[in-house]
Amino acid sequence: MALLDKFEKYDLLFGPSPISKFENLAKELGGKVNIYAKREDRNSGLAFAGNKLRKFEYIVPEIIAGDYTHIVSIGGIQSNQTLMTIATACKLGLKAVTVQENWVPIPEAEKATYDKVGNIEAARILGGDVRLVPDGFDIGMRKSFEEALQELTSQGFKPYPVPAGCSEHKYGGLGFVGFADELIKQEKEMGIKFDKIVVCCVTGSTAAGIFVGMAQYGRENDVIAIDASGKPEKTFEQTLRIINHTSEILGLGKKFDTFNFDTRFGGPVYGIPNEGTIEAIKLLGKTEGTLTDPVYEGKSMQGLIELVKEDKFEKDSNVLFVHLGGASSLSAYQSYFS
């Protein structure tokens, strides 16, 4: 029995997320390695899909069993997490309240539209109770989040709390342990091995889950997390804590003191792309017709591209980019591409 089988799961995905081969991108980078992408951006029919839904699959059973009235979560104005919270609540027939803080220093050219387009527009279409709060960015538990929960409770409702990115949730890492199990099966079906796996890291549970999932197979060193938080010390600490918590509840019997974490691409701050991020988004777009966002996937793709250029991967190795979604926020960043 797989270690994950002891946890109840509620299916939200189509099934295993597909794997694309980025042959044109690899050729553009000198044909040094084979580049693939596991498409979490195409994993479900809920809203614009993405990595958060895989996490919710192990959280939803507790929501259903507890007869909760609302799901409450938190993120930035263009948060993927809050949109997927609302989409999941719609699927379950529940209400959702999302606290959306001002995590990004919005460029002047975007200020008139940033809170009206992209993910937050979709969230309003889905009927979410979207609450804009001026507090700035940080990871971990937030005061505004606690206040929203207290307000609903005082009104006689029963809200279920889901922290930012699902990451501080006790089951936050389980979905991407399942991702690793899924990937191992796909390797066998494809007849290849992915030598390195490149994934974005901010609140930590996605990278942590993949790390622990691959550690089951003795392959935790194959995982490279790319910081997109701009606060790498806090992100490292939180991710490592989630790694060890997830390892413990799975019964893996291992404790870890580090993980591969590249901190070079998260700047200038969370939610704002640097020049290399924009170049990476455009390069992937023009070579593969695939969109990435300036907040997460643009920065992890930037990391992958630089690692290839620096010859950090062995020649002819198979490198897997984990595409977590997020391109639905691109319209909030139009000034970078006009």
In tens, the pLDDT along 304-323 reads 999 999 999 999 999 999 99
Ordered structural domains, the chain, with CATH: 3-46+170-336 (3.40.50.1100), 52-166 (3.40.50.1100)
Residue 138 pLDDT level (bands cut at 50, 70, 90): low
Q: Strand, helix or coil at 323?
A: strand
For residues 149 and 143, is the Cβ–Cβ distance under 8 A?
no
Instruction: Provide the mean pLDDT of the chain.
Output: 96
The average pLDDT across 156-167 equals: 95
Side-chain-side CA neighbours of 206 within 13 Å: the count stands at 28
Q: What is the DSSP code (8-state) at residue 100?
A: E
Residue 134 pLDDT level (bands cut at 50, 70, 90): confident
Q: What is the pLDDT at residue 2?
A: 86
Q: Is the pTM of this model over 0.95?
A: yes
Residue 202 pLDDT level (bands cut at 50, 70, 90): very high
Kindly give the pairing relationship between strand 34-39 and strand 19-21: antiparallel
Rounded CA-CA distance 197/188 in Å is 16
For residues 97 and 213, is the Cβ–Cβ distance under 8 A?
no
Side-chain-side CA neighbours of 276 within 13 Å: the count stands at 17
Q: What is the pLDDT at residue 195?
A: 98
pLDDT at residue 139 tops 90: no
pLDDT at residue 66 tops 80: yes
pLDDT at residue 141 tops 80: no
pLDDT, greater one: 34 or 107: 34
In what helix (H) or strand (E) does residue 151 lie, and over which residues does it extend?
helix 143-154
Indicate if 335 belongs to the active site. Answer: no
Residue 110 pLDDT level (bands cut at 50, 70, 90): very high
Residue 142 pLDDT level (bands cut at 50, 70, 90): confident
Q: How far apart are the first and last CA of the chain?
A: 52
Lowest-confidence pick of 32-41, 84-93, 98-107, 324-333: 98-107
Q: Find the catalytic residue in 17, 44, 73, 79.
A: 79
The average pLDDT across 37-57 equals: 97
Lowest-confidence pick of 140-154, 194-208, 210-224: 140-154
Q: What is the pLDDT at residue 104?
A: 93
The average pLDDT across 138-153 equals: 84
- Phi/psi for 214 (5° steps) reads -75, -30
The average pLDDT across 222-228 equals: 98
The average pLDDT across 240-264 equals: 97
Rounded CA-CA distance 316/337 in Å is 33
pLDDT at residue 84 tops 90: yes
Residue 186 pLDDT level (bands cut at 50, 70, 90): very high
